[in-house]
Amino acid sequence: MSQNFDPLAYLRANPDVARAVDEGRMTSAWRHYVQFGHAENRPGVPEAVRRKVGAVMAASAKIPPSRLIARVHGSSDAAGFEQVGRAAALDIFAAVDERISLENRLSILDFGCGCARVLRFMAELAPTSRFQGCDIDGEAISWCLASYPHEVRRARFAFARNGDLPPTPFKSDSFDLVYGISVFTHLPEDLQLKWLAELRRLAKPDGLLVLSTQGGGLIRDQLGAEDRRTLDGHGFFYHPYGGTEGLPEYYQAAWHTRAYIDRVWSRYFHIAAHLPAGVADHQDLVLCVKRRHLAV
């Protein structure tokens, strides 16, 4: 039996969910299982997947100060902050599960880890892996170091502040898996390209990267004619909205179309998948594989 979640098997076993997906009341089989199906003990799910989801749902998480929550989450809602962290970790698991086993001892980079919103739950999914978190937010990094001393002492977790620009202090070809949730959703284009190149340097050959973006459809109808032409023509739109307390001035809002990802990001990576609303039912999920050689 497959150890991976099979959406068709889940929908066959749960025809009411299949109807909800067909009618647009539920975005996907996976989203239903994570939000409802696991608690309802729905059929059609391999036991290995059921255990993984159960571990994440049962895990506790240290709650940061409200100012750090707001810096990452957009509000100081601790419950919502934790819920998104669980959902993002499970969505990363679902995206990579067919390509890499999180049961293996991996080296994993949380790029833009903030106050470990996702990392805490990823650690449940990859119990023997070593996690390196990095962020521009020195206060968040200090909180992580103080909040997870046992994991830091035994070198399971490590945290480091990175600069506004690459490089990071990490060695090339270091990480089996890199993920960055709600990072490229905030950076101007020139800075994004520099960080894409850096993440390519850090990933092992054929290493996986899971990065989230905001799809252009989330903003297009709110733009004026000129900005809409920019988004449609170039595929990328960056908008200063006022900024976030404690973060650099350039940390604003950015949107990417699928065509832009395919055209520009493919210079650095093979784009293995692009899942609209694939992270916590909101941001798009882009699954990348490091090319052994840069595209010409």
pLDDT of residue 277: 93
**CA of residue 252 relative to chain centroid, distance:** 18
Q: Pick from 65, 231, 255: which is nearest to 147 by CA? A: 65
Mind spelling out the 3-state secondary structure of 104-137? CCCEEEEECCCCCCCHHHHHHHCCCCEEEEEECC
In the chain, % of residues over pLDDT 70: 98
As assigned by CATH, the class of the 66-290 domain is: alpha beta
What is the 8-class DSSP label of residue 233? H
Residue 53 has pLDDT above 50, yes or no: yes
Which tokens belong to 271?
Answer: 């784009």
Contact at 8 Å (CB) between 11 and 55?
Answer: no
* Ranges in the chain annotated CATH 3.40.50.150: 66-290
Pick the range with the lowest mean pLDDT from 39-43, 69-73, 164-168, 172-176. Answer: 69-73
Nearest to 174 by CA among 132, 114, 115, 116: 132
Reported confidence tier of residue 55, pLDDT bands at 50, 70, 90? very high
Q: Is 221's pLDDT higher than 60?
A: yes
Predicted local confidence at residue 116, as pLDDT: 97
Give the pairing of strands 203-213 and 175-180: parallel
pLDDT value for 296: 52
Whether the per-residue pLDDT at 88 is higher than 90: the answer is yes
Tell me 281's DSSP state. T
Residue 18: in which H helix or E strand, if any? helix 15-22
pLDDT greater than 50 at residue 213: yes
Which H/E stretch holds residue 66?
A: helix 66-73
Q: What is the pLDDT of residue 244?
A: 86
Tokens of 296: 């010409």
Output the pLDDT for position 118.
Answer: 98
Give the three-state DSSP class for 165.
coil
Confidence grade of residue 271 (pLDDT, cut at 50, 70, 90): very high
Q: What is the mean pLDDT of the chain?
A: 95
Instruction: Tell me which residue of 204, 229, 216 sits closest to 259, measured CA to CA.
Output: 216
With a cut of 60, say whether residue 2 has pLDDT above it. Answer: no
Is the previous residue joined to 167 through a cis bond, with omega within 30 degrees of 0? yes
pLDDT value, residue 1: 34
- Whether the per-residue pLDDT at 241 is higher than 70: the answer is yes
Task: Give pLDDT, residue 295.
Answer: 65
Task: Collect all residues with Cβ–Cβ distance below 8 Å to 290 and sequence separation of at least 6.
Answer: 200, 203, 204, 205, 206, 207, 208, 209, 269, 270
Q: What is the mean pLDDT of residues 153-182?
A: 98
pLDDT digits (tens, 9 = 90+) for 125-156: 999 999 999 999 999 999 999 999 999 999 99
Work out the pLDDT band at 243, boundaries 50, 70, 90: confident
What distance in Å separates the CA atoms of residue 261 and residue 236, rounded to the nearest whole number? 9
Who's near 186: CB < 8 A, 6+ residues apart? 251, 252, 253, 254
C-alpha atoms less than 13 angstroms from C-alpha of 162 in its C-beta half-sphere: 22
Q: How many residues does the chain have?
A: 296
Q: What is the mean pLDDT of residues 254-280?
A: 96
